Each structure stands twice: as C-alpha cells, then as structure tokens.
C-alpha cells in the first residue's frame, strides 16, 4: 500500500537577481518560494529513510542559485527550473510552485505566479 503525501517548502526567502527591468538586473531582490510536492510513498516508510522524498535537495539548490549570482528574467523561468529538479525523482507526481516578489508594490504582500504541473515521466506511462 502507498499513500499520497504532500512534502512542503513554505515561504523560502532568498535574494535573487530576477526580473526584466533595468533596476532588477542591477541588484538582487527578495523572492519567496513555496513548493508542494505530491509524492507516492509507502504507508509505513522504512526507518532508514530511503522511502522519503526529502525537501533538502530543492532548498539547497535554491540557496546555491541565490549564491551563484546568475540572473533570471522571469519568475516563470525560475518555476521551470524548480520543476526540472523535482521531476527528476519519479516519486514526485505533482508539484505546485509559487514564486512571489514581495517588494514590487507596497500595496501588495507580493506579486508573482503559482504554477501546478504533473510529472511528465508519469503522465507518459
């Protein structure tokens, strides 16, 4: 037996060089990322942990991306990268990614995108 489980990264805040405007290319800005991964794991995962889908690799990837200094034009591009990393694990069936830029408008808590996708490797079966 297996169960559907949501593995969540909730409001990871990282500085990134992101955006198409000139001032966004000159300085990093805060980006807040939330991820929900629907995974398929056994009802009783092993104590050794090999049945778990860890949130650590994607958090480490995003921190390394922040530290790397590469510029990304669109929040959608960042979401695409996140999907690529997560869907390399066949146990990740569906993902919702939220990429928010909280400093764009003072009148809003943030602006950005929420994108949901199914793992193409699973949907092709």
Which pLDDT tens digit goes with each residue over 25-61? 999 999 999 999 999 876 665 666 566 788 999 999 9
- Which pair of structure tokens corresponds to residue 81? 């990268």
Q: What is the pLDDT of residue 124?
A: 61
- The structure's pTM equals 0.89
- Which pair of structure tokens corresponds to residue 104? 């764009």
When pLDDT is averaged across residues 95-121 and rounded to a whole number, the result is 96
Q: What is the pLDDT of residue 4?
A: 80
Strand pairing category for 29-42 and 2-18: antiparallel
> Which domains does the chain carry?
2-45+53-123 (3.30.1130.10)
Q: What is the pLDDT of residue 17?
A: 96
17, 72 contact by CB (below 8 A): yes
1, 43 contact by CB (below 8 A): yes
pLDDT digit string (tens) for 61-93?
Answer: 999 999 998 999 999 999 999 999 999 998 899
Other CB atoms within 10 Å distance of the CB of residue 109: 8
Which residues is 30 bridged to in the sheet? Answer: 15
């Amino acid at each position: 037996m297996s169960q559907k489980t949501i593995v969540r990264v909730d409001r990871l805040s990282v500085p990134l060089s992101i955006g198409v405007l000139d001032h966004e290319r000159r300085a990093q800005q805060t980006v807040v990322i939330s991820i929900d991964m629907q995974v398929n794991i056994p009802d009783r995962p092993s104590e050794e942990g090999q049945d778990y889908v860890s949130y650590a690799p994607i958090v480490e990837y995003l921190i390394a991306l922040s530290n790397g200094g590469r510029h990304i034009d669109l929040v959608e591009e960042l979401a695409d990268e996140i999907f690529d990393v997560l869907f390399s694990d066949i146990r990740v069936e569906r993902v919702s990614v939220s990429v928010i830029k909280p400093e764009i408008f003072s009148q809003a808590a943030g602006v950005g995108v929420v994108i949901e996708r199914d793992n193409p490797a699973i949907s092709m079966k």
